[in-house]
Amino acid sequence: MAKSVIIIGAGVVGLACGKELSKKGYEVFITEQEKYIATQTSSRNSGVIHAGIYYATDSLKATLCVRGKRLLYKYCEQFGVPHSRTRKMIVATTQEETKILSKLKETALKNGVHLELIRGEEAIEHEPKLFALSALVSPTTGIVDASKLAISLQHQAEINGANLAFETKITKINQAQKILVKGISGGEEFEAEFDFLVNAAGHGAYTLTQSYWQDAPTPPPNFAKGNYFSIEGEAPFQTLIYPVPGTISLGIHYTINTEGHGQLGPDVQWIDQPNYEVDPELERNFRTAARKYWPGVDDCRLIPGYSGIRPKVEANDFIIHRQDNIITLLGIESPGLTSSLAIAESVANSFS
């Protein structure tokens, strides 16, 4: 008889785990507290397929991003998920930033990612509206439609026999030889027993750990919100444009989605309580940041777009923690989307 697995959370990572585990023959149940899949972190990001440039060598973020990137491109091509290999330029606008680019190139190489450092003139020749003294070119960076990726993963999981339960909130987990979960589904209390559990609940993952993992890494005291502004009219660049990264984030960068629309973001805004409203007053900060590499930003209209909240924990890496028959995923922020299939692969292999 097949072993049963409950996966808490139907974001991209949870759905990828569902696809992978059901393919391996497990009886998979995926629960989601919302009415639809991928309504939080998964659908509230830039949709960038990251190369694996910034992360500490041998960290989970580095290894799973590089592996996940390859798996994601292959998956998108196989199942027709909208994506594009746009490339990316990390641009230096001062001589000091050029030195930082050289160090960044070395870090990327240690992660197995090859970048080309080019002169500003070459960068501007490729993207005439750009200002740069130099740039690092990442040929393997791209974009994906995250919502359609989630739909595809759901479909593949269901083809393999996985079951999804929406509006189902897990409230308590009792770990023993088998796992007893309690929760509320459709307004009614329930309890059920499973052989294994994957906690992929995103923002709710840490709260659930208090039932079975008392010393789990904690989230920061405030929420790290990222806002986006859409660019009206024709997209100024076809390449993704990133500033030299800061200590907290990659900086307000430029991306383009699979439909050809450009946007700026995200920033980092620390807030006390979650909310997804984009304050129009932030436009000034976005213009100031973008003007360093895009002098023509003031000729374009910026429209408040969407926002997301990073599911951070007080660690600089993904947390993939196995405790007997429970696997917990914490801090799956960027590059979580890129790494999703590699994370699922790792989870499935740990059950083997």
CA dihedral 125, 126, 127, 128 (to 10 degrees): 20
pLDDT in tens, 73-126: 999 999 999 999 999 999 999 999 999 999 999 999 999 999 999 999 999 999
pTM (2 decimals)? 0.97
Q: What is the pLDDT of residue 248?
A: 59
- Tokens 């998979």 sit on residue: 28
- Tokens 């070459």 sit on residue: 122
pLDDT in tens, 188-226: 999 999 999 999 999 999 999 999 999 999 999 999 999
Strand, helix or coil for residue 43: helix
Omega before residue 304 within 30° of 0, cis? no
pLDDT in tens, 113-163: 999 999 999 999 999 999 999 999 999 999 999 999 999 999 999 999 999
How far apart are alpha carbons 114 and 109 in whole angstroms?
A: 6
Q: What is the pLDDT of residue 314?
A: 85
Omega before residue 266 within 30° of 0, cis? yes
Q: What is the pLDDT of residue 247?
A: 59
Q: What is the pLDDT of residue 246?
A: 73
- Tokens 């923690």 sit on residue: 321
- What is the average pLDDT across 257-268? 97
How far apart are alpha carbons 164 and 158 in whole angstroms?
A: 8
Neighbours of 110 (CB within 10 A): 12
Give domain 4-52+147-218+314-351's CATH superfamily: FAD/NAD(P)-binding domain (3.50.50.60)
CB 68, CB 12: distance < 8 Å: no
Task: Give me the residue spans of the domains in the chain.
Answer: 4-52+147-218+314-351, 88-138+220-310
How far apart are alpha carbons 198 and 17 in whole angstroms?
A: 8
CATH 3.40.50.300 fits 88-138+220-310, yes or no: no
Written as one string, the DSSP assignment of 264-285 is E----EEESS---PPPGGGHHH
Mean pLDDT across the chain:
96
